Structure 1
Amino acid sequence: MKVASLALCLLYTAGSLVQAAPTHNNTEAEATKQLNKWQKQYDQYIKASLKTRQTGCTNDNIVKRAEWGSLSAGERKNYIKAVQCLTTKPAKISKSEAPGARSRFDDWDAVHIKLTNNVHFSGLFLHFHRYFLWLYEKALQDECGYKGTQPYWDWTLSWQDPSKSTVFDGSDTSMGSNGKYIPNRNGTAISAFGLHAVIPPATGGGCVYSGPFQNHSVNLGPVAYAPYGPDGGLGYYPRCLARDLAPGFSNQTKPSDVVHVIRDTDDLYTFDDVFEGLTGVHAGGHFQMGGTGIDAFASPGDPAFYLHHAQVDRVWTLWQDLKPEERRNQVFGTSTAFNNPPSANITLDTEVDFDVLAPKKKISDLVSTVDGPFCYQYV
């Protein structure tokens, strides 16, 4: 049950930060082998399933989403340039809806803030974020001339120390550094979905100080922690991009943790319960980023959010395509967090709202990465 997962999270986050515990190297090595095996199986399935297609998504037009560290320096710089371009384009969301939005980049943050209580801990979480991410990728391509695809951040490669990830190493081909270290801090009290917890201080806490996003302005939020932004987080509250890289939380994203969520769940409700629970790998990704990333509402203000959620989508895709005929069309739950307030059960005909980003989409259009609007695979 999700409530049980959340109760465990409250116990975990209320304490002091625990550094990554010593692990049996063999366990993680074996888990990595298993993930590589599933990746290969997935690659073969996609190729075989598209082999006879002549229209729609085919082996000739499918695009590949790759891990950030596998991209060349030039490819990473092109992605960074496109993200920075999006921050210079005017927002499309109306001032009455999000008076603080200043850019197209802010449109995604604003929509996420508005819809958070519907698309987390509900039957919409995975489907919503899949299309939300695809729309972001399309904006980078169509509005900023980006020729590549949305990369993902494989947490299992840097779970022992996220600061050593190519995503956060602070180089000019990264998504920026850790935040500047602030000593003697208290934990950050967060509140979301009627729950309350304290996130302990970690290795940073201040503004990102090196790399392409050291001057990035976060304009919306915070919503889940103080000092709260105006207008429910939708007002203008410009500040630096903050991070607090936390090995205590990256310890939730070990190879064995990802193996567990894929191997030990056999229906979408159970998968989401383990995956989205706050002691799971999804939260582990957010919480190890710290800073802006721990706000359940306004975390898209950190450009690394999209690499994290590409990995979220990748893990779901690997799980789906182990048993595609059984799993792709599974639904569960309702369209409100913990069904509070009560809402209708999700069906394949349920329409998912994307506000100013795009017209509503039926769940049935969002179940497969090679059908509906999609034609991509993870490599």
Structure 2
Amino acid sequence: MKLSHLVAQVLPLVGCVVATPGPDPEAAASKRIDKLQKQYQKYIQGTIKHRTTGCTKKKILERKEWGSLSKKERLNYIDAVYCLASKPAKTPASEIPGARTRYDDFVGSHIQYTPFVHASGLFLPYHRYYVWLYEKALREECGYKGAQPYWDWTLSYKDPRKSSVFDGSPYSLGSNGVFIPNRDPIELVIPNTPTRVFPPATGGGCIYSGPFTPDKWQINLGPIGIPPTGPQGGLGYNPRCLTRDLSPVLSLSTRPTNVTALLDGCADLGCLNIQLDTPDGGVHGFGHFQMGTTAFDVFISPSDPVFWLHHAQVDRLWTIWQNQNPAVRTSQVWGTQTAGNFPPSDNATLDTQITFGVIAPPIKIRDAVSTIDGDFCYIYD
């Protein structure tokens, strides 16, 4: 008798039960996110279908996930980022003496307004307009033809080193940092919140391959949010390399189930804002934290070009969430006008002003609540 036949006869007699794998909650969550995105796209496409002015079908820009771009498209984007960093700064030296490039103008704006646009009612609208301004600068000042891509960290939450964003190829945004052993934990200072300590991960040094290596990219401002603070309070000229410390531990908090907890679990904008940055798994915070080093510093985090892809992803989630109930959620506001309401400030309203320094005139929150009205005309593909 063949062994397989014998096993088939014996197993029922001994009561052996062969376990079968249960449903994968992360796979199910990914499918849920895809479904909600398709619903959102259908709503946007239907809304602009018959428009002849403003944001129309012909004008709308499609923001795509980095990994879905062709190699040529990625190179075009990278070239545009280099272009922006090759142009002179417009920021007055009296405001930010260390600013040297047009790219520094954007980092400088983030430094100036960090105490107001994080952990406040300005967080989502500020960053939506901020990323759009960056996209606009790449297109109008550097000839970029595409839209701002996003980094869907749910695709690489198990290990960001395996993401096409960080694989170190010419078509990535650079590699991990060189591994530095025996490092001390990093203390992270965020305005009006308790200091947090993070263990070192898999890198820590300068990027060693792909774009934005030390011979191609330079950070000029900071540090501010990570001790020791740079010269002139972090506003002085402090040239150094871009560093990363990719963490396959901290990245676990950007898993799909944490995203569906936002999209399905939050009925109002207050919930969404709070859950985006919860200490035990907020996907906005841990999107930064998994990159380590430069991205830890909330003030100068735009110094890492991946910042823009990360915040496009955050904006994508806000947009999908809004369009589950657009009549109610598009114009919702929440929170005060200072980080953690310190110092105490008025509640945010649709007429609350958001400022951007030299990169753009002020706007009101109402100007940044819809991705297909006002200055905006884009969709997440």
- For the criterion TM > 0.5, the same-fold answer is yes
Mapped partners of 2:269, 2:297: distance in 1: 25
TM-score, length of structure 2 as denominator length: 0.92
Q: Aligned-residue CA RMSD in angstroms?
A: 1.2
Distance apart, 1:249 and its partner CA:
1.1
The correspondence for 1:288, drawn from 275, 287, 290, is 290
Mapped partners of 1:61, 1:113: distance in 2: 32
> Which residue of 2 is the match for residue 363 of structure 1?
365
- Give, as a single letter, the amino acid of the residue that structure 1 aligns with 2:92: S
Q: Which runs of 4+ in 1 moved over 4 A?
A: none
SS of match in other structure, 2:195: strand
Residue deviations 1:242-270 (CA, integer Å, cap 9, x gap): 00001111101001111111110010011
Residue deviations 1:263-308 (CA, integer Å, cap 9, x gap): 1001001110001334300011100011100001110110110010
> Which residue of 2 is the match for residue 105 of structure 1?
103
- Give, as a single letter, the amino acid of the residue that structure 2 aligns with 1:130: R
Residue deviations 1:6-27 (CA, integer Å, cap 9, x gap): xxxxxxxxxxxxxxxxx98711
Mapped partners of 2:160, 2:274: distance in 1: 25
1:72-87 matches, cutoff 5 A: 72-87=70-85
The correspondence for 1:93, drawn from 91, 94, 100, is 91
SS of match in other structure, 1:142: helix
The correspondence for 2:47, drawn from 46, 49, 68, is 49
Residue deviations 1:83-118 (CA, integer Å, cap 9, x gap): 001111000110010100110011111110110010
1:212-227 matches, cutoff 5 A: 212-215=211-214, 216-227=217-228
> Which residue of 1 is the match for residue 146 of structure 2?
148
> Which residue of 1 is the match for residue 5 of structure 2?
none
Distance apart, 1:43 and its partner CA:
1.1
> Which residue of 1 is the match for residue 321 of structure 2?
319
- The change in CA–CA distance for 1:181 and 1:82 in structure 2 (over 3 A counts) is same
Distance apart, 1:343 and its partner CA:
1.2
Mapped partners of 2:236, 2:23: distance in 1: 47
The correspondence for 1:340, drawn from 339, 342, 357, is 342
Kept in 2, the 8 Å contact 1:113–1:233? The answer is: no
Length, aligned pairs only: 357
- Give, as a single letter, the amino acid of the residue that structure 1 aligns with 2:209: S
1:262-277 matches, cutoff 5 A: 262-277=263-278
Mapped partners of 2:83, 2:59: distance in 1: 26
SS of match in other structure, 2:249: helix
SS of match in other structure, 1:256: helix
Distance apart, 1:231 and its partner CA:
2.0
Structure 1 range deviating more: 168-177 or 269-278: 269-278
1:184-223 matches, cutoff 5 A: 184-194=182-192, 195-215=194-214, 216-223=217-224
SS of match in other structure, 1:305: helix
Q: What are the ranges of 5 or more consecutive residues in structure 2 without an aligned counterpart?
A: 1-20
> Which residue of 2 is the match for residue 131 of structure 1?
129
Query: Over alpha carbons, which structure has the higher Rg?
Result: 2
> Which residue of 1 is the match for residue 253 of structure 2?
252
- The change in CA–CA distance for 1:125 and 1:24 in structure 2 (over 3 A counts) is farther
Mapped partners of 1:300, 1:197: distance in 2: 20
Residue deviations 1:158-191 (CA, integer Å, cap 9, x gap): 0001001000000000000000001111101122
Kept in 2, the 8 Å contact 1:89–1:104? The answer is: yes
- Give, as a single letter, the amino acid of the residue that structure 2 aligns with 1:196: T
Of all paired residues, the percent bearing the same amino acid is 57
Distance apart, 1:151 and its partner CA:
0.2
Mapped partners of 1:129, 1:150: distance in 2: 13
Kept in 2, the 8 Å contact 1:191–1:225? The answer is: yes
Mapped partners of 1:330, 1:111: distance in 2: 25
Q: What are the ranges of 5 or more consecutive residues in structure 1 without an aligned counterpart?
A: 1-22
Q: Does 1:310 pair with 2:312?
A: yes
- Give, as a single letter, the amino acid of the residue that structure 1 aligns with 2:249: G
SS of match in other structure, 1:223: coil
> Which residue of 2 is the match for residue 6 of structure 1?
none
SS of match in other structure, 1:300: helix
Structure 1 range deviating more: 187-196 or 66-75: 187-196
Mapped partners of 1:145, 1:50: distance in 2: 27
Mapped partners of 1:33, 1:224: distance in 2: 37
Mapped partners of 1:43, 1:348: distance in 2: 25
Mapped partners of 2:290, 2:23: distance in 1: 21
Distance apart, 1:197 and its partner CA:
1.3
SS of match in other structure, 2:188: strand
Mapped partners of 1:292, 1:128: distance in 2: 21
Residue deviations 1:34-82 (CA, integer Å, cap 9, x gap): 0110111111111111112121011121110000000000000000000
Distance apart, 1:196 and its partner CA:
0.8
